Amino acid sequence: MKEFTSLHISSHFLQRSVLVDVYGDIESLKDKQTDLLLFNDGQDLVKMNFHSILKKSIGPTHSMIVLGLHAGLERKQEYGVAGIPDYMNRGTKAFLYSKFVLEELLPHIHTSYSPIRFRNKYIAGFSLGGLMAFDMAMDYPMEFSAAGVFSGSFWWRSKDLNEGYVEERDRIMHAKIRTKCIQPHQRFYFQTGALDEKADRNKNGIIDSIDDALDIIKELEKLGFQKGKQIEYVELPDGKHDIATWKVAIPEFLQWLLTK
């Protein structure tokens, strides 16, 4: 299997060319069904030699094509929560990024790799890219049946801490979940690390990265999603906010995706 091939997709919505790395044995999948996984921050997959991880993690009875979407120079504008910029007005192009994925990237892939048929589509990402992946899964449940979030930026907030910030109200994604309904077919995988950061906004002895992820899970449970069935949470005691940690976590995530 080749390591990966690369595509340059010209995006009208983002006004830039998006570099997309394609992992998987495309030729052997012609006329077959397979799963499709989109990964935000695809440049990080290159740094962790993702092609070897995929080859070792996907057994002979399964198949998967993975798209590594490289972030652009405006990463902090293109990633976020669609339609809801944060308190520093970041994430203003998150909706446009969603449009790129749905209306430009996926049609291009379907056309380019026909007659391959995609059984399930998943989306994942790291840090801010993880927040974007989760947001897209919540907004487009009929497109993405699972999402993976590694050290997700769930702190994304509408007010700064010294400007009247209220935890229950101002964390953008937590509030957005409350506007949604359960989608029983969807699953979510969350990974955090005990060394992700040192910040502890509410001084409860738990770093914000873990606190925010656990509160996301609580909000999903309120909708009716079940931990252990539709929600998987992995906390690495020595995990950091870095590529080395995410490289360790990804094989388990891939196995989880393929285990119904």
Q: DSSP labels for 151-187?
A: S--TT-BSS-TTTT--HHHHBHHHHHHTT----TT-E
Write the pLDDT tens digit of every residue in 192-243. Answer: 999 999 999 999 999 999 999 999 999 999 999 999 999 999 999 999 999 9
Helix (H, G, I), strand (E, B) or coil at 41: coil
Q: Can you tell me whether residue 241 is helix, strand or coil?
A: coil
User: For position 111, which CATH number holds?
Assistant: 3.40.50.1820
How close are the terminal C-alpha atoms of the chain, in Å? 26
Is the distance from CB of 35 to CB of 117 less than 8 angstroms?
Answer: no
* Global pTM exceeds 0.85: yes
Q: How many domains does one find in the chain?
A: 1
From CA 221, how far away is CA 215, in angstroms rounded? 10
Instruction: Print the domain residue range for 222.
Output: 5-258
> pLDDT tens across 13-39, in order?
999 999 999 999 888 887 788 999 999
